[in-house]
Structure 1
Amino acid sequence: MRTHTAPRFIECEVCSKICMTTKLLKKHMKTHTKDRPYMCNICSKTYKRSFELSAHKKVHTGVKNHICNICGYATMYKANLEIHHKRHIMEFRLHCEVCGKGFYTNSELQGHKNVHTGERPFQCDVCGKAFIYKHYLTTHQRTQHPDFQRDGRASLSRHYECESCGKVFSYKKSLLLHVSSHTGENQAFLCDICGKALTSNSSLQCHRRIHTGEKPFVCDSCGKGFRNRGNLRIHQRTHTGEKPYRCDQCGKSFTQRPTLVVHKRYHTGQRPYRCQLCNKGFVSKTLLKTHQKSH
């Protein structure tokens, strides 16, 4: 009825978002507050809304009953599976105005735009370090500041104490990573950009090239660059003609293992990539994309 009566919309004083009713405005205002009244009774993690807590509790059950019929990907949440399906059929709802890259949600698009602008809007409340993506900040806080919640207060979860130095942690995993600093075993090397933990310094240096765009391994034949030596070695086979991966059924050889995997599907009849419109199956995602253009 509001579409006929032309109602007066209510504007959020913080971000200027327009809400249809006072109830919706009140619900929206929770996004601006730091209050997190809903706490998990298992791990003490807190949330702003009750439905977020209900969704979180599925993590403790470990049950992933939403399964992709194309690749076998499993998730606890139906919404995640629906987004995952769209990745198979390349059904992008939004596109970046700068580079044209496609995305499924507005949050993904907004985070991607920070790559072009260089903006780092997600700042750590504890140390002030800023990040491009929100999940980078979350990972950083969990690994670097495990004893603090997002609002900077001390965590109310159970504590794990190091027997060597007495330092206390809120997560067992954080304690195990810390203990390795005393023993020198299984030391974790953390990326200072996204917080990802790597098992060696060389792995960390290779990982950082994803953020910097550095490609130090250059092909002598064509000048193409790569982030690691392994990818360069695979590429060089296109010049040398080397094909180490051989099909045990027909004897055909390939330069890469993934190409052999796709080839074997012609023998087995397996067609894991299916068109959502006509249900026709394909051996690879590339062939599916080509087919979808016909629709």
Structure 2
Amino acid sequence: MKCHNGKKEFRCEECGKECLSKKLLKRHMGSHSEDRPFQCDICSRKFKRSYEVTKHKKIHKGEKNHVCDVCGYATMHKACLETHQKRHLREYMFKCDVCGKGFFSSFEFREHKNIHTGEKPYMCDICGKAYTSKNSLMAHKKTHEPDAKPTEKVHECKMCSKSFKYRKSLLVHVKSHAGEKFLCDFCGKAFSTKDTLKLHRRNHTGEKSNVCNVCGKAFSVLYTLKVHQLIHTGEKPHTCDQCGKAFTQRSTLVVHKRSHTGQKPYQCHICNKTFVSRTLLNLHLRSHGDHAYYKHSYSVVN
């Protein structure tokens, strides 16, 4: 211990770091110890401090009280919500030509288009119910778990089958369907524009009007055809201004440029490790076990 400007300072004997109180020094000393006395009684993961295990257990409880009023995204942490909301202020890489909604990843964009086409590629292998998004399927499958609470309410959108744990999230989402008045004569589903209905009807008729003039492969969506045709032309319109490497899609270029900047915007909520792309993050999440696949077990950081 020593004095500096009349204040007592406590020095760590391991690294020399100085702390303003004995309590802070004790907390710091824990960083040098491998002892983790606090254990999660659900997944057995161990922690050095009691508040860390308390915070961690919220992952298992699924307490997501902070809801984005723009898109309905829900999270357990206020800081994660604030980080998420900044995304709405940035430039979108993908934009839906049907409703104008923007997205930062091709995966989100593809899943969103399922709402317009009515396609439900994610099917439950237990009961056969299908969903437009992977997250909706995962939320549904929890209802089949042995320890699932029978009284737990899942709020499902009647227009697209997307489900939400909180009614507030559902109400925000439902606004995206406002004004839908074009009805499908096959299934009765409603859409906001005639073009959206036309895309949806192809699921019933099997029509794929966008045909590649090189190989004859057909697509129901024009955008998908345009991306496909780049394979034949070899065109790579998106070039890196740092090294000159070219790519067929802008999203691939965006991920590549992070190798120059060192930016790793995708962060794991469990261990805080960061990654350049969501694909790498998803691979990493497997190391944490099944609980890592809870909806939004990651965040996008600046």
State the TM-score bracket (shorter-chain normalisation): 0.3 to 0.5
TM-score by length of 1: 0.38
TM-score by structure 2 length?
Answer: 0.38
